[in-house]
Structure 1
Amino acid sequence: MVFSNDDIEGIWDFSWPGHGIGHPPSSSVDFTTEGKLSFDSFLPELDPTLKCLMPGIPLGIIDPYPIEIVMQDHQILFLYEHFHMVRRIFMDGRIAPDDWPVSLIGYSVGHWEEKTLVIKTTHMSPDNYVWTNGMPFSGDKNSYVIERYSREGDILLFEAEIHDSVNYKTPYKVSGQRLFSPDMNIYEYECLPDFAGAGVI
């Protein structure tokens, strides 16, 4: 089957051998003083997903579970298996309202730059991290995330820049890729609070 490079609809898997997530080593991250203190004081049990909170944005960008992308005229839906997370990427030119409440997924607007989908997300909650090793995220009103998705055959390439001047002197960057998996299913995912952090010591 032949697809257009700007047709990213379908189910995309992350967990396939030989390809992982591109993260800078912590030693090369350009922390602010506050960001370094937050990173150094992180404990594994502080991971919000261990409280049955969905990964949100920016953490959910590199979530290893499959996602389904649904393209509509006015929006693109990102449907995540993990925690049933749903993102609406508004494509109709709207601007995020100033009084929009902060949340784990924030408020996302997008546009196409040729064959690349560009998403800007604002209004994100401070109850989140950039990465599960404790890379902090402030949720400051001036923080935002830029994502770029482009298709090359059955591969969906993505990269993201986390702009959070409270914690990072320069944007924190991640990248990765997903494999088009039309025969894969999105399964039920449940998080039981009594067991969510059972493996953390």
Structure 2
Amino acid sequence: MAIERILNARAGVLVLIAYVSMPAFSQTQSASRNFIGMWSDPPVTITGDFCASWCTDAGIERLDALLDDPKNDARPLAELRAEADNYQRENYIRPHLTDAALKTYPLDRADDPSFLRCEPYGFAQQFIARHQLEIRQPAKDRLELRYGEWDARRTIYMDGRKRPANEAPSRLGYSVGRWEGDTLLVETSGILASRTPWQSEHSDQLRVVERFTRSKDGKTLTLTATMTDPLDLREPVVIKHIWAWAPDQVIAPYDQCEIPTEVKKGVR
């Protein structure tokens, strides 16, 4: 119910813009199956802001419950969001972590190489990065995903191929995709060990299944990702991310990172 509220939260003429800007090859497809173009920050709603990076159903439900409780009417919204975020981390994420992962959970964001040394994200942080996501189809057998954060680029092979047996693990892994109705399903493996969005470690055995769906009105793109890792997760973790259609935006070269001169520890 909460996700539906986000997806229906914005009104306007974006549907018409989206249709007009569709490439010719894709106009024979249903509108909900055409993801080509520019997407960016989620709809401007309370829950959309909560899911601006990543969220879980448990976190969304907790936030909804807090907002619906009259006793919280005087509490600042930021405080309610923080409580819901802490709830999903402690009551959903933590029970999914193995003993090995729990030894270092949560990792301090101040020690994150992307913050400390301006090193690009690993896959698990990159694929739900904030801001722009541009989806292109440079050839019939593949899609390209380009992210505004770090100007990262992924290739999604759509021709049924498998990851080569001799393919070495890489920062963004090896991705293959297929259509299941109007859902784009992408499976990624061969990912170098790094950090998760919730600041725990993951191994090079991490596998991620992404399911992209476009809303019927064309305004939003929702990602539901299932993450498995036999070394660091007891069972799969499911997270969500939402983008809004943003045809007028462009991705500029990423030069915004500055190595900090002072580091504050203990901030999530």
TM-score, shorter chain, exceeding 0.5: yes
Report the 3-state secondary structure (helix = DSSP H, G, I; strand = E; otherwise coil) of the residue aligned with 2:213.
strand
Distance in 1, Cα, partners of 2:226 & 2:261: 32
Choose the corresponding residue for 1:48, options 110, 113, 119: 113
Residue of structure 1 equivalent to 2:199: 134
2:183 corresponds to 1:183 = no
Using the TM superposition, name which of 106-115 and 42-51 deviates more. 42-51
Residue identity (%): 23
8 Å contact from structure 1 (residues 45, 197) kept in 2? no
The structure in which a higher percent of residues are helix is: 2
Residue of structure 1 equivalent to 2:41: 14
8 Å contact from structure 1 (residues 8, 151) kept in 2? yes
CA deviation string 1:143-191 (max 9, x = no partner) = 3110000111111011101101211111121102110100111112125
Using the TM superposition, name which of 52-61 and 162-171 deviates more. 52-61
8 Å contact from structure 2 (residues 151, 251) kept in 1? no
Report the 3-state secondary structure (helix = DSSP H, G, I; strand = E; otherwise coil) of the residue aligned with 2:170.
coil
Relative to structure 1, the CA distance from residue 196 to residue 163 in structure 2 (aligned partners, 3 Å threshold; closer, same or farther) is same
2:136 corresponds to 1:70 = yes
RMSD: 1.8
Residue of structure 1 equivalent to 2:259: 196
Choose the corresponding residue for 2:186, options 111, 116, 119: 119
Residue of structure 2 equivalent to 1:110: 177
2:192 corresponds to 1:165 = no
Distance in 2, Cα, partners of 1:167 & 1:35: 5
Kindly tell me the number of residue pairs found equivalent between the two proteins. Answer: 194
Distance in 2, Cα, partners of 1:176 & 1:155: 11
Distance in 1, Cα, partners of 2:255 & 2:124: 21
Higher gyration radius (CA)? 2
Distance in 1, Cα, partners of 2:163 & 2:223: 23
**Higher RCO (Cα < 8 Å, 6 or more apart):** 1
Structure 2: runs of 5+ lacking an equivalent: 1-15, 23-30, 60-87
The structure in which a higher percent of residues are strand is: 1
Relative to structure 1, the CA distance from residue 144 to residue 129 in structure 2 (aligned partners, 3 Å threshold; closer, same or farther) is same
Distance in 1, Cα, partners of 2:256 & 2:163: 30
Choose the corresponding residue for 1:95, options 153, 159, 162: 162
Relative to structure 1, the CA distance from residue 197 to residue 102 in structure 2 (aligned partners, 3 Å threshold; closer, same or farther) is farther
Structure 1: runs of 5+ lacking an equivalent: none
How far did residue 15 of structure 1 move?
4.8
Residue of structure 1 equivalent to 2:6: none
Report the 3-state secondary structure (helix = DSSP H, G, I; strand = E; otherwise coil) of the residue aligned with 2:227.
strand
How far did residue 66 of structure 1 move?
0.6
Report the 3-state secondary structure (helix = DSSP H, G, I; strand = E; otherwise coil) of the residue aligned with 1:157.
strand
